[in-house]
Amino acid sequence: MLTRFDHAVIAVPDLGAAVAAYRGFGFDVRPGGRHPRCGTENAIIRFGLTYLELISVRDEREALESGESGRVLVEYLRRGGGLAGFVVAGIEINAQGGNLHKLGLRGELVEMSRARPDGSSFSWRIIAPDDAQWRRPWPFLIEWETPDAERLQQEPAGRHDNGACGIASVTVAVRDLEAVLPIYRQALALADAGSLTRPELRAYGRRFVVGDTDIQLLAADGEGALSRQIEERGEGPFELSLRFRPQVGVHSTLHAGGAS
């Protein structure tokens, strides 16, 4: 069962430079650690259990040898990076894996971990539909082995000067809306919140809700910003809107290639 939006992932070519940049945007960015056998390292912008992950490749050879996800990430970073993926958390996610198989998609349970700078580690299981975590029109799924309370003790919510306090929505560019809907409705069993349109993007789509976060699937309805996004970068997360404390009164949207 899927219960909440866990985190969104932003691929960055230079982790140190990205940390400095996001601190300049008013975020409290903390060191994350390294992923054994994946060739990657990260930094964390935490709002609570929900967070943003800045991920970079520290060992390209190891990343490429790790499998399809590593190859996709390396290639995406060679083109500049940006929003790479998003993650929904749950319990007993093997059930979702079985549902994916019924739709003809691979989705095997994989054990993963992160070695933190202080010597501790976090561990979890993931299922990546079609065996790739990055640049896909759906999330990958996570089931944490390290308890929530322990993770928050090790990595407490940041104190963000810009007032950011959560992830409001993620917008996903898709080529064929009808082809993707069964994954969200049947395999992931997320709440369908109805149709939507984005005239400024020449796009239409469908909205799903998990926890307090919207997932908005958008397909192009003619030539426009969304069709250009799909042509240039393919399917996958396109925008990420953050939630802010009411008294701050600001808005921010992260796009596939950066932030605004």
CATH of the domain at 180: 3.10.180.10
Query: What does the pLDDT look like over 197-229, one tens digit per residue?
Result: 999 999 999 999 999 999 999 999 999 999 999
Query: What does the pLDDT look like over 142-179, one tens digit per residue?
Result: 999 999 999 999 999 999 999 999 999 999 999 999 99
User: Do residues 222 and 203 share a domain?
Assistant: yes
Burial (0-12, 13-18, 19+ Cβ within 10 Å), 257: middle
User: Do residues 142 and 222 share a domain?
Assistant: no
pLDDT at 246: 83
User: Do residues 193 and 133 share a domain?
Assistant: no
User: Do residues 145 and 189 share a domain?
Assistant: no
Q: Given 154, 173, 202, which residue is the final one in a domain?
A: 154
Query: What does the pLDDT look like over 3-13, one tens digit per residue?
Result: 999 999 999 99
User: Do residues 123 and 12 share a domain?
Assistant: yes
User: Do residues 93 and 183 share a domain?
Assistant: no
Question: Residue 132's pLDDT band (boundaries 50, 70, 90)?
Answer: confident
User: Do residues 143 and 56 share a domain?
Assistant: yes
Q: Is residue 138 part of a domain?
A: yes
Q: Given 154, 177, 212, which residue is the final one in a domain?
A: 154
User: Do residues 174 and 233 share a domain?
Assistant: yes
Question: What is the number of structural domains in the chain?
Answer: 2
- Percent of the chain at pLDDT exceeding 70: 95
Q: Given 154, 181, 206, which residue is the final one in a domain?
A: 154
User: Do residues 109 and 185 share a domain?
Assistant: no
pLDDT at 256: 57
User: Do residues 103 and 145 share a domain?
Assistant: yes
pLDDT at 255: 62
User: Do residues 9 and 34 share a domain?
Assistant: yes
pLDDT, average across residues 44-52: 98
Q: Is residue 159 part of a domain?
A: no
Structural domain harbouring 12: 2-154
